[in-house]
């Protein structure tokens, strides 16, 4: 009897292939595209209005609507669904009971959620920066912050989907309570908010001070990447100890 095994790369690609097909639906796509369109529309309205400080206004739109609402919520929808939905529906068994290591499954799930989230996050954020009259530094900063932010949120929310039931509710609580309110209460809660790092990247690029943006550009990029790595490690640990239906 031959004992087959799956290489980490093979497991990653396989998980990615399965999830890319499962995660995207027309309904989900339409709702999130509408959200993205609304943000771009507001950005365009801001850009079209007379303002004494257009760069500042453009930055506020990108920060408050783009990184405050759209990026975390879009990623939350796709990333918690990646392995979380499989776990709750009972299809996770088709990836779990296999001769595969756990970490490539988590990485594959993160990649799928990341790739599907990008058109609904990075593109509208960059477009918002453009149409709101932001400088090229703001557009460039939005691009870096978007990429880094989506990556960190993706890994954290994939882990959350494995950790708890109703992960969307827990994720919304994190976005609306922790990132929006609690992060303003001190250094520790601010450091635990991904939003602080995306803001730091934007501040680093455009030179305008923002609340919570109190780390340098390099730390603003590196820390979310480390958060993503940590979330993948925790997700793999969680997957190996999960009760699978």
Binding site for another protein (CB under 8 A): 1, 3-7, 10-11, 14, 17-18, 21-22, 89-91, 93-101, 243-245
Cβ 92 to another protein, closest distance in Å? 9
Furthest CA-CA distance within the chain: 76
Spatial CB neighbours of 4, under 8 Å, sequence gap ≥ 6: 99
Which of 224, 229, 231 has its CA nearest to residue 197?
224
Which of 138, 121, 118, 137 has its CA nearest to residue 46?
138
Cβ 101 to another protein, closest distance in Å? 7
Nearest-angstrom CA–CA distance, 64 and 22: 31
Which of 222, 29, 234 has its CA nearest to residue 118?
29
Assess contact for 72 and 175: CB atoms under 8 A. Answer: yes
Cβ 229 to another protein, closest distance in Å? 23
Q: Indicate the residue among 100 and 126 with the shorter CB distance to another protein.
A: 100
Cβ 31 to another protein, closest distance in Å? 18
Cβ 104 to another protein, closest distance in Å? 11
Q: Which two tokens stand for residue 149?
A: 């932010």
Q: Indicate the residue among 4 and 188 with the shorter CB distance to another protein.
A: 4
Q: Indicate the residue among 23 and 227 with the shorter CB distance to another protein.
A: 23
Which of 127, 126, 129 has its CA nearest to residue 56?
129
Q: Indicate the residue among 19 and 201 with the shorter CB distance to another protein.
A: 19
Nearest-angstrom CA–CA distance, 120 and 156: 18
Cβ 88 to another protein, closest distance in Å? 10
Q: Indicate the residue among 27 and 186 with the shorter CB distance to another protein.
A: 27
Q: Indicate the residue among 1 and 52 with the shorter CB distance to another protein.
A: 1
């Amino acid at each position: 009897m031959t004992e087959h095994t799956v290489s980490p790369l093979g497991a990653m690609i396989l998980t990615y292939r399965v999830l890319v097909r499962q995660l995207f639906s027309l309904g989900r796509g339409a709702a999130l595209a509408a959200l993205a369109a609304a943000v771009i529309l507001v950005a365009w309205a801001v850009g079209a209005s007379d303002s004494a400080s257009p760069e500042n206004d453009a930055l506020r739109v990108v920060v408050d609507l783009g990184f405050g609402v759209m990026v975390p919520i879009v990623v939350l929808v796709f990333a918690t669904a990646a392995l979380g939905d499989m776990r709750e529906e009972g299809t996770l068994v088709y990836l779990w009971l296999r001769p595969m290591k756990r970490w490539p499954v988590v990485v594959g799930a993160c990649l799928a959620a990341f790739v599907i989230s990008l058109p609904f996050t990075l593109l509208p954020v960059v477009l918002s920066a453009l149409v709101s009259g932001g400088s090229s530094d703001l557009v460039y900063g939005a691009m870096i912050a978007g990429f880094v932010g989506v990556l960190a949120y993706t890994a954290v929310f994939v882990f959350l989907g494995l950790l708890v039931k109703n992960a969307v509710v827990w994720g919304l609580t994190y976005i609306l309570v922790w990132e929006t309110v609690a992060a303003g209460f001190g250094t520790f809660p601010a450091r635990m908010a991904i939003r602080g790092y995306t803001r730091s990247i934007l501040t680093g690029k455009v030179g305008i001070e923002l609340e919570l943006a109190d780390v340098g550009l390099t730390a603003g990029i590196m820390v979310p990447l480390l958060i993503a790595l940590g979330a993948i490690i925790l997700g793999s640990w969680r997957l190996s100890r999960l009760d699978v239906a």
